Every structure is written in C-alpha cells, then in structure tokens.
Amino acid sequence: MAGHSLGEYSAMVCAGALPFAEGVRLVKLRGEAMQDAVPMGEGAMAAVLGLDDDTVEAACAKAAEGDVVAAVNYNAPGQVVIAGSKAAVDRAIAACQEAGAKRAMPLPVSVPSHCDLMRPAADRLAEAMASIDLRAPRYTVIQNVDAEAHADVETLRTRLIEQLYQPVRWTSCVEALSGLGAEVFIECGPGKVLTGLNKRIARGSRGLSVNDPDSLTAALELAAKRLASRRRPMADTLSRTRMEESMTTERRVALITGASRGIGRAIAHELGRQGRIVIGTATSDAGAERIDADLKEHGIEGAGRRLDVTDQQSVDALIKSIGEEFGAPTILVNNAGSRATIC
C-alpha cells in the first residue's frame, strides 16, 4: 500500500507501523509545524499540466533566482505540482507556460508543502517522532520520498520526516506497487483523484474509490473474487499425509479463518457461489454460530467452527475433523489477523 503526502500516515497506521492515537497526534503536530514554518501568504503551490518532469524542473531552476521553488509532487505523467516562495512560484508558472504547459495554475493552499521551506517543520516533527514507538509494517508500504518499502524502523522514521521537505514521488510509488503485482488500486477516503492518477500511471490497471458503504461492498466483493481466482495448491499448512489424502478426493473443501465478517465473509460467499464446501472459523462460539447461520442463509454447504489459530493442536484437530466430515481441505484462506492469504 501507499499513501499520498499526509495519506502516508494513514497507510502506516493501517500497516500496523504507527499506533492510531500516535498517528493522530503526529498529524496534528505536523500541520501546526508546517503552518508555523512559513508566514501566511509568503509561500505558494501550483499545478503544472502537459510538461514532462525534466522540463518542469528546468523551469523551476530558471525561476528560482535565489528563492525556493521546486517540483514537489510527481503525481502522474504530465502532472507535476511545484512549491516554494510565492514570488518564485509565480515566476515558475510563467516559465512553464513559456515552455508549452497546457495549464499552470496556483493552488488554494496555506503552506508550500514538500519543499525546503518546510525544513523547520521537519525539525519539530523529528523531535516528536523520536519518542514514537514505530514498528516494522505488517504490510508492504511504499514510501513517498524514495518509492521503496522499508522494514527498518529507523529508515521508516527518517523517510517520514524527510517527506516534509522532499518531493512526493507518487508516479514512482504506483509503478513500484505495479511491479510487485498490483493490478487493482483501491483509494480509501473521500474523492477519486488518486484513482484517476493511478490509472494513468499503471496502464491497464483497475481502480476503485471507497468512500461509502456501497463502494466498500464492491471493493470487498472484488477482492474476494480475485483471491479465489488466485488460489494455489495447498502448501505446508496441511501435513504431507493430509496432502496425499486430499489428492484422492474431490478438491472442493475450503477452510476460511476469520469468516464471520468483512473480507473473510465475502470470500466465503464467493467460494460458496463457485460450489465449494466452506468451513468458516471464528474465535468464539457465537462467531462460529453466526457463520453457520450465514452459510445456511445463502445456501452454501459447510459449517462454522470455533478456532484459535495460535494453538497448533486446535488447528490440527479442526483439520482432522473437517476431513472426517467433509473431506480434506484443499483451499486455505488465512484471514485471521492483518491480511488475507489464500493457498
């Protein structure tokens, strides 16, 4: 995953790298520090359309004249945002227009984000972040500054601080995600700006904007279908003995952990629609009963079962009982925890 500018903090929270409460505190401090770094009216930003990155950078260099102005958001091919002192940004707008830009227009913002004028704000943010208990992300998070994922906590911390005065390389971030195999990009939050940008960057990709219950349902259903279509042979989750047993029976039994709600429930419905026998698990008897009732309501063969995925004996016992009642599971969807994995 990735987040654009301020959205990088949301991505870090979602990935488990940054506690929610600390994230809220940092975002508040970050905004205050940025506002304090440059007096109102002395900084500016502008969007430039229709020029390549090199031409925009050259226009900024020509317009600087000792002031600060630079390309700060590489949003998509042919769409770059510049920022700096107001006089220098005005000169850069004129230089971009002379270079053939389709449009070069000021943006209604209160601070010139992601440029050298934000270094004082970065210093304040660094002081606050020194005491934050960052953790290695549970998901891959591509960071804005270098379009790379970092597991090292100190590197992650440094990149978050640098992001205040260095460009957001969104084009490179989306290209990195695409290179990792991403084909569907889901934008979370109000608006559809990133969805449009992402389609321009990753040609042939699909984009969804999630901002209400209906769009969330559509995203979950799409995720369920794609996970179901990408299943692969059972790996080490089942023992070799059970693997051999499964090869002699019809490959129709799916075991889904965390199936009582959300994406786990959506995957259960999709596999059931495909004719699979679905065994869904929950961490409580009540959750297992809800799964059982939900499967029956949707005409899906299977059952709900209670399971503690951290207890290997419980896992072994459940797989054995499923094998005896329904046949050996040949599809495993591990949806317990922070992500869904299908085997």
Mind telling me the catalytic residues?
5, 114
Burial grade of 307 (CB within 10 A; 0-12, 13-18, 19 or more): buried
**Contact (CB, 8 A) for 83 and 72:** yes
Which sign does the torsion angle of CA 300, 302, 304, 309 carry? negative
What is residue 89's three-state secondary structure?
helix
Q: What tokens appear for 114 in the block?
A: 């992601």
Q: What are phi and psi of 74, to 5 degrees?
A: -95, 85
Strand order in the sheet with 43-49: 69-76, 79-85, 43-49, 103-106
Cα dihedral 10, 15, 18, 23 in deg (nearest 10): 20
Nearest by Cα to 46 from 78, 70, 77, 76:
70
Contacts 24+ apart (CB under 8 A), 303-307: 303/279, 304/259, 304/260, 304/279, 304/280, 305/279, 305/280, 305/281, 306/281, 306/282, 307/257, 307/281, 307/282, 307/283
If one counts every other C-beta atom within 10 angstroms of the C-beta of residue 233, the result is 11
Nearest by Cα to 304 from 293, 316, 317:
293
Q: What tokens appear for 19 in the block?
A: 């506690």
**Contact (CB, 8 A) for 141 and 11:** yes
